[in-house]
Structure formats: C-alpha cells, structure tokens
Structure 1
Amino acid sequence: MTLAHCPAPTTAERIRSTCVRAGGALLAVEQAEPLTTPLHHLVADGSFAVGAPLDAPLNDGAQAVLELADYAPLPLREPIRSLVWIRGGLHRVPQSSVRELLDLIAEEHPHPALLQVQTPNSGPVRPGDTRYLLARLEIESVVVTDATGAEAVDAAALLAAQPDPFCGFESCWIRHLDSAHRDVVARLAARLPARLRRGDVRPLGVDRYGMRLRVESADGDRDIRLPFHKPVDDVPGLSQAIRVLMGCPFVNGLRARGN
C-alpha cells in the first residue's frame, strides 16, 4: 500500500538489493537435497556464481534453483519480506578459471566466503573440510514474490539495475530506529489512516524512494510505503527526507528559539 504516488524500486533493483543483503542462500539441485551456500554473486555475463560443498552432486548442466530470502531487520510475525528464485543450469567452474572468477567477484563484493573456495593451490581435501566448489548458474528464469504477488525479471534487466544505495546498512539503521527512536516511528505512524494506527507499527525497510512500515494487528498484517518527496542517494538526503515525512519544522534550516 502506498499513501501517495511516488516511484518505488523496480523489481530488478529490489532483487539486486536482496542479493546484497542476503547471507546464506539455498541451492536446490535436481535429485539432491537442498544445499546451503554462503556465496551467490551476479556475474557480468548474466550468470550467478555460487559456492557448493565439496561433496555436492554437481552434474554438469543439472537443473537447479537458487533461493534468496530477504528477511526483515526486526523480529516480526512474518519475517520474510520477499523471496527470489533463480532457476537455470548449473555448471562447475574449471579449476583453471576459478582464481580469475574469484578476483572478479572480489572487486565488486569481497565476501569472506571467497577465501573458502577451493582453488588449484588449496591442497588435498580432508575429512571435515569446509571449503566450497565454485559453480555457475546459467539463468533461465528469475521470479520474486512478496505480499503484493509474484513477478518475473530477465537477466538483462538484472544486469542493468543497481542495488539500492542504502541496502548495505539498512538492517542496522532500521534496528537502531526501532530501539532508540520510537518517537520518530510514532510520528511516521501518525501519517497513516486512523484505521491502521490501531495496530503495532514497526519500521520495515528504507530505500532511496521512501520508508516502509509494517502494521501488525488482530485482523492481519499490512505493509505501507511512505514515499519521499523525491528519491535520495546519500545519508544527508535520507536524513532530510525522513524529517520531511515526520513534518519536522526545522527541515528547511529553521532553528528552535532559545530560552
């Protein structure tokens, strides 16, 4: 639900942000139990680089689905904000190409899991080894689902999109807002219709286009977007946009009168 007309992140942008925020993901390979992977990265050629346990049954070209869950920063009744499913053929990366691909990923996202990927210099595999194989998931379809429904996106749209500028620290910021600035949440909640203010209002998310609130009530949960007057790209712009939403009288430079 949006209270006023304002652009929101595109579906491709939302997926790119989920890829940044998501920690471990599930990799379901045909005829095998789902695997947990700590590494999932969209590569410039339109495939996803993924890590898999050393004993994973990675038959070349096997059909697989990568599932990414976007969890709310706060402990809510329904914690998952959206799910992303990426389906395609899985191909093990040749050992001769692993190091080059790891370097490409590290330039964009130096994830600690990159250090656990098996390379030609990793040495022999031992019992209990926690290293990972590197594979590519050649995208055939991408679908995201949330409270509003499901939508498909193609690989070209994903490559053209960028993650939200605030997605890297969104979770920490939302938790701080909820724990230390309940007055701000209350003023944002005051923007909602009276029928929605009867529930428990919690901050759900923030992006360059606006704030999202979750209202948990006896008759169900609702997600509401409070749009900013215009999109913002940096922390000062975000701070000002939040003040505008709150109706802060000092947003344009006014100062409180001294005692």
Structure 2
Amino acid sequence: MVLLSPHSLAPSPAERARSVLSRPNPATVTTAHVSLHLTGAVCHTTAEGEVTLLLPDQHRVLAEIGEGGLEATVEFTDTAPVDLRDPTRSLLWIIGDLRIAPPAQARGRALAVLAEDPDERLLDLGHGRTMVVMDPHLIVHSDYEGCHLLHPEEFTEAAADPFGRWEGPWLRHLEDDHPDVLRALVAHCPAPLPQGRPRPLGVDRHGLCLRLEGPDGDHDVRIPFRRLVRTPHDIAHEVREMAGLDRHRC
C-alpha cells in the first residue's frame, strides 16, 4: 500500500478488524472435527467484544458445541465489493469459545442490533438460523500493512468504520458510472504512482483506497481525505476535490 502522506490518519489494525466483521464477508467456522463455510456471514460484535454469528439450524457444528461450549476458529475473508482480479483485501482470524445463545437471549441481542443497524438478515433468526456467540481469545488481522496480533481488549475498544455497509454500492457506482473520476484521482495525486488501471478498492472515514492493476502486478494506494468525514455527502465532496472535479457528481 502506497501512503501518499506518511503523516495522514488511517484506521488502526483493530479498527480495520472490526470493519471486516461489519460487512457481509464470507467466513469459515472450523472446529476439531467439522468445518462450515458461510458465503455472507451474519456477524455482529457486542460492546463487550463478543462476536455473534447466525449458523444454519441442524448443522453438525451446533451439535458439537453442545451445552459446554467449544473452541473454534472463524476465518473472515474481507472481499472487495468490485470485481478485481485479486478480490481479497484482508484476512481476519478469531479463535475463541463458541456457545449457543438461548432463544430469549438471541432475540434480545438481535433486537438490540436492529435498534442501531437495520440488518434484515437478522430476521432469519428462528427461521432456519441459530445464533452462536464467540468469546475471542486470539485475534489476528492480515492486510497490506502486515500481520497484526490484536489483544482482545484492543479489539473490544475499537469501532468499525461507519461506512462499512455503505461502501460496497458506492464503490460499484464509482467503478461503473465514473471511470473518469478514477482517472482524474490518479492524475491529481501529489506523488507519482505505478502504471495501471485504477480500480476502487475501499473507502472509510479517513480516505479512499485505489488499486492500480498493471502488467507488472497490483499496486494499492491510500489517498487520505483532508479531514475525517462524517457523511456520504462529505465523501463525495472530498473525492470531487481530490479529483479536481468540483462540479462532478459521484
């Protein structure tokens, strides 16, 4: 990852890990005897740092958990929302104890999440899906900055980026409808960049990430915003400013 300003703010590894969990990324739950792949994991993190997942009813992993809990590893693959030739942005591994949430507790947790986050996938709870809760013991996040071992307290205190669910549709819109903006962003960068087709890789409250797909490989670049953004309108304004297209809508 090329950072256009070494002093620019960027999400911490713990914040990036929490953001992975806030998006509908694929995940694999692995125990000593069974593995379960989830194409779009319904995952939420509580204020206490516990991670909840919805698993298919009657799956073997639920029977294995039983009443006493079960140690498991959950691997989350942070996948780019646009069709890149290498779609993986980062990997997150969480090792901890899984337990099945009693129905009343599961409904309470789901309602608490829905009060803040209208995630309609939670409506599957009790209709083919069972909630399990993981108490993390070990968290490892690996991305362009390297591999980071996160302390559970550090993970708990971090917050997911507020644009985690919103970024996918917006990046696809940028890719499909505004390739001129992507080219302008590269042209107006204050530092020379590797050659390659600019693709939208990610966006957060700190800045925009592009991937340059060139003949010699992929090169990622983070373009920091001038200030922390608070709304989608702020992001569009910052991107227009950086691209030198003040009147361009995106």
1:2 equivalent in alignment to 2:19: no
The equivalent residue for 1:254 is none
1:62 equivalent in alignment to 2:70: yes
- Using the size of structure 2 for normalisation, the TM-score is 0.85
The equivalent residue for 1:127 is none
The equivalent residue for 1:51 is 54
Contact 2:22 2:43 (8 Å CA) reproduced? no
Judging changes above 3 Å, is the alpha-carbon distance between structure 1 residues 152 and 95 closer, same or farther for their aligned structure 2 residues? Answer: same
Instruction: Specify the code of the residue in structure 2 equivalent to 1:58.
Output: I
The equivalent residue for 1:126 is none
Aligned residues: 239
Contact 1:35 1:52 (8 Å CA) reproduced? no
Spell out the pairing of 1:103-114 with structure 2 (5 A cutoff).
103-114=111-122
1:88 equivalent in alignment to 2:96: yes
Contact 2:17 2:92 (8 Å CA) reproduced? yes
Partners of 2:45 and 2:13 in 1: CA distance? 16
The equivalent residue for 1:135 is 132
Find the residue that maps to 1:135 and give its secondary structure.
strand
- Using the size of structure 1 for normalisation, the TM-score is 0.83
Instruction: Specify the code of the residue in structure 2 equivalent to 1:117.
Output: L
Partners of 2:50 and 2:145 in 1: CA distance? 27
Give the fraction of aligned pairs with identical amino acids, expressed as a percent: 32
Partners of 2:104 and 2:165 in 1: CA distance? 32
Q: Which 5+ residue runs of structure 1 have no aligned equivalent?
A: 119-129, 252-259
The equivalent residue for 1:247 is 244
Contact 1:63 1:88 (8 Å CA) reproduced? yes
Partners of 1:131 and 1:218 in 2: CA distance? 46
Judging changes above 3 Å, is the alpha-carbon distance between structure 1 residues 147 and 99 closer, same or farther for their aligned structure 2 residues? Answer: same
Please tell me the root mean square deviation across aligned C-alpha atoms, in Å.
2.3
How far is the alpha carbon of 1:54 from its aligned partner?
Answer: 2.4
1:208 equivalent in alignment to 2:216: no
Partners of 1:132 and 1:181 in 2: CA distance? 39
Spell out the pairing of 1:10-49 with structure 2 (5 A cutoff).
10-36=12-38, 38-49=41-52
